[in-house]
């Protein structure tokens, strides 16, 4: 059993590294060298280039990004002060499709959280990913209206659909939530969707025989009040780096012991077995998003940053 648990933990740790960091270099910054997130965070508009995704979700940028309108027939962009409602045209089209589907399933539409900055890149706060215009956070809060004022969009918060102990869903979770997530997972442009583990556990129990879409639903901490949709690399972006295929991380629909790990050993890690063997020298920790410099990003990101 211990070997099984160790294997599950190893797979989960590998998955987390893929999700957030990617293969980050260890380029030594020069003294007083500006951080990439400050440079990209200062840009208020998209680059004057054709739309293109450059690099990896957690290590890249977005050329020619498109701004999601603040309000649409079936959506509203939230937290406008962040200026993070930008993305590749494929992401804009996906939000339009899914929000319409949500309106057909019983909600007024969708409240849209963070997408990417105008030129992508590392953000000044929050996310490690969301750097290339292919990620979007969608609130779990069912919209009651789509005419919120700008101040209301700053003060209103989403709702958690998970219990505080992280093991179960709560009374806020509804069949419509599941239907919307299923619709998103069945969209051919979607690579994967991150949710709290308790959400996937419930979905696994209620999915019935139609289960193929479940493999795109991936458990990850911190996703109790929104779900994070990640799109596949677009055909117009040869410099986009795809994420490791789900089939290499989890077999089948993902409703297995690796899912249970998130509500057992992840919450209460087993005690480490001490070993008399000499520990190997720890490798330098890769820089996180808010520590990156321009040399950490693909070379094309310099052009994106400097474009008009």
CA torsion 4-9-15-21 (nearest 10°) is -150
Give domain limits for the chain: 2-306
Residue-level pLDDT at 249 = 78
Residue-level pLDDT at 21 = 41
Q: How far is it, in rounded angstroms, from Cα 90 to Cα 157?
A: 27
Asked if 113 contacts 139 with a C-beta cutoff of 8 angstroms, the reply is yes
pLDDT tens per residue, range 271-294:
876 666 656 677 777 888 989 999
At residue 6 the predicted structure's pLDDT band, cuts being 50, 70 and 90, is very low
Task: Evaluate if residue 255 carries a pLDDT over 90.
Answer: yes
What does the pLDDT average to over 44-52? 98
At residue 126 the predicted structure's pLDDT band, cuts being 50, 70 and 90, is confident
Task: Evaluate if residue 236 carries a pLDDT over 80.
Answer: yes
Q: How far is it, in rounded angstroms, from Cα 54 to Cα 40?
A: 14
What does the pLDDT average to over 11-28? 45
pLDDT tens per residue, range 199-213:
999 999 999 999 999
pLDDT above 90 covers a percentage of the chain that reads 75
Q: How far is it, in rounded angstroms, from Cα 228 to Cα 200?
A: 13
Asked if 48 contacts 126 with a C-beta cutoff of 8 angstroms, the reply is no
Asked if 52 contacts 237 with a C-beta cutoff of 8 angstroms, the reply is yes
Of 224, 238, 215, residue with least CA distance to 195: 224
Residue-level pLDDT at 85 = 98
What does the pLDDT average to over 166-174? 97
Asked if 204 contacts 167 with a C-beta cutoff of 8 angstroms, the reply is no
Residue-level pLDDT at 149 = 97
What is the CB-side half-sphere exposure of residue 285 using CA atoms within 13 A? 4
Of 116, 56, 121, 123, residue with least CA distance to 90: 116
In this structure, CATH architecture of domain 2-306:
2-Layer Sandwich (3.30)
């Amino acid at each position: 059993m211990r070997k099984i648990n160790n294997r599950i933990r190893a797979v989960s740790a590998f998955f987390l590294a893929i999700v957030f960091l990617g293969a980050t270099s260890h380029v030594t910054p020069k003294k007083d060298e500006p951080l990439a997130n400050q440079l990209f965070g200062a840009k208020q508009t998209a680059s004057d280039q054709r739309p293109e995704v450059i690099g990896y979700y957690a290590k890249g940028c977005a050329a020619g990004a498109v701004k999601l309108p603040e309000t649409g027939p079936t959506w509203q962009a939230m937290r406008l002060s962040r200026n993070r409602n930008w993305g590749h045209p494929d992401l804009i089209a996906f939000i339009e499709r899914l929000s319409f589907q949500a309106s057909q399933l019983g909600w007024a539409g969708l409240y849209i959280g963070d997408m990417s900055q105008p030129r992508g890149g590392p953000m000044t706060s929050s996310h490690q990913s969301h750097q290339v215009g292919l990620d979007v956070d969608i609130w779990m809060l069912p919209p009651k209206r789509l005419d919120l004022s700008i101040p209301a969009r700053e003060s209103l918060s989403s709702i958690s659909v998970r219990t505080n102990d992280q093991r179960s869903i709560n009374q806020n979770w509804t069949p419509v939530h599941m239907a919307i997530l299923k619709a998103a997972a069945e969209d051919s442009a979607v690579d994967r969707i991150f949710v709290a583990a308790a959400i996937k556990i419930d979905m696994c129990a209620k999915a019935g025989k139609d289960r193929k879409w479940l493999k795109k639903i991936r458990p990850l901490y911190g996703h109790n009040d929104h779900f994070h949709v990640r799109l596949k690399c677009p055909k117009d972006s040869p410099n986009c780096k795809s994420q490791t295929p789900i089939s290499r991380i989890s077999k089948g629909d993902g409703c297995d012991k690796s899912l249970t790990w998130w509500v057992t050993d992840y919450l209460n890690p087993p005690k480490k077995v001490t070993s008399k063997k000499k520990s190997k020298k720890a490798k330098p920790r890769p820089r996180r998003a808010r520590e990156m410099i321009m040399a950490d990003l693909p070379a094309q990101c310099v052009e994106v940053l400097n474009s008009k």
